[in-house]
Amino acid sequence: MTGSLLGPDAPEWADALPRLRHDMYHEPAYVVLDAALYGGSPAAFHYEEDGHVLLVPLIVRQIPDISEKDALSPYGYPAPVSDTDDAAFWSRACASMISTLAPAGIVSVFVRMHPLLPASLDALGEHGCLVRHGETVSMDLTISLDEMWSQTRSDHRNHVNRARRAGTKVVFDDWDRLAEWVAVYHDNMRRVGATDYYFFTYEHLAALHEAVGDRMHLAVALEGDEVVGGNTFFEHDGIATGYVSSTRRAKGRYADEMLYDEVRRFCKARGDTVFHLGGGKGGSNDSLFFYKSGFSPGRHAFHTWRLVTDPVAYRTLVSERRPQADPDDLTATFPSYR
């Protein structure tokens, strides 16, 4: 049995992926580009034993002013993935992760789980803290288009029909329109007061498309020749997943609902089996979750996994940097020292 921390060019990372049911977030190219946004280093924990493997993509960040580091998931749902559901294997992999990362100076790890991919939650909870936040929404693309439409909430159906009657069109993979849509997206991020991280640039999105090719798509909504909204989304192993989306707000404009409807039709036609919309802000069942839930009855529990690899260093950091926080409470803001 071996556990190791890999860089994105490690052959073990590339060799593991074909053996695992995974998503775009587990691909080295994705992790590399997301790490640049976070200001960290792309990595993956890799564990192999008796022909089975477990992989966890990570971004390793320097903790300010000290030599220690911590790690977190790339943006999205890059959970641990394995080719076995054996709880004992997962438990040994978790123990190996601690014994591998701690000597590397990594104090803690924050991981977003994937609601659609299997994981041994009991083993993860045994070695760290598993927190359930809420639910995510998915659309079943194996059912008929008529069934999809009947599952859509009446207000969304009404808005999609209004958009179509108004002449709104959705165009796929016209990447020459990317810059126009990014301007719409940034306007919306300013409107909602998003943090700097969420202002994905044209350069980042273009580089991501260049890296993953036709597994990433752009859908733009047009009113005449004006881009008024758009979605970027991935396809991987039958799973379609929304990445970044935004629509210019205006009274009587329903391009956003129309985009969701057109994207699911596009993905179904390409043979995908599920379209994962994600959940609310921070995984909560908020107004964004309610909006997404109007497209489908599919629900999935969303968890995060918090792991302290060096308890002594973790407690010291919390005591020095956020003395009001309880270092034993891993369910609150994590890691507590940030």
Distance of CA 224 to the CA centre of its chain: 33
Query: How far, in Å, CA of 240 to CA of 157, rounded?
Result: 21
Query: How far, in Å, CA of 221 to CA of 27, rounded?
Result: 29
Query: How far, in Å, CA of 190 to CA of 182, rounded?
Result: 12
Query: How far, in Å, CA of 209 to CA of 30, rounded?
Result: 10
Whether the CB-CB separation of 308 and 316 falls below 8 Å is answered with no
Query: How far, in Å, CA of 203 to CA of 188, rounded?
Result: 18
**Domains of the chain by start residue, with CATH:** 2-135+302-321 (3.40.630.30), 142-272 (3.40.630.30)
Whether the CB-CB separation of 37 and 63 falls below 8 Å is answered with no
Whether the CB-CB separation of 277 and 292 falls below 8 Å is answered with yes
Query: How far, in Å, CA of 161 to CA of 169, rounded?
Result: 12
Which pLDDT does position 195 carry in this prediction?
A: 87
Give 143's DSSP letter. Answer: S
Which pLDDT does position 281 carry in this prediction?
A: 82
Give pLDDT tens digits along the chain (338 positions).
Answer: 799 999 999 999 999 999 999 999 999 999 999 999 999 999 999 999 999 999 999 999 999 999 999 999 999 999 999 999 999 999 999 999 999 999 999 999 999 999 999 999 999 999 999 999 999 999 999 999 999 999 999 999 999 999 999 999 999 999 999 999 999 999 988 988 888 888 999 999 999 999 999 999 999 999 999 999 999 999 999 999 999 999 887 777 899 999 999 999 999 999 999 999 999 887 778 888 999 999 999 999 999 999 999 999 999 999 999 999 999 999 999 999 99
Query: How far, in Å, CA of 71 to CA of 80, rounded?
Result: 14
Whether the CB-CB separation of 137 and 278 falls below 8 Å is answered with yes
Residue with tokens 């493997």: 53
Dihedral over Cα of 36, 210, 242, 26: its sign: negative
Select from 159, 180, 179, 164 the least CA-distant residue to 226: 180
Which pLDDT does position 252 carry in this prediction?
A: 73
Residue with tokens 């273009």: 206
Cα 187–Cα 193–Cα 195 angle in degrees, nearest 5:
100
- Residue 172's beta-bridge partner residues? 219
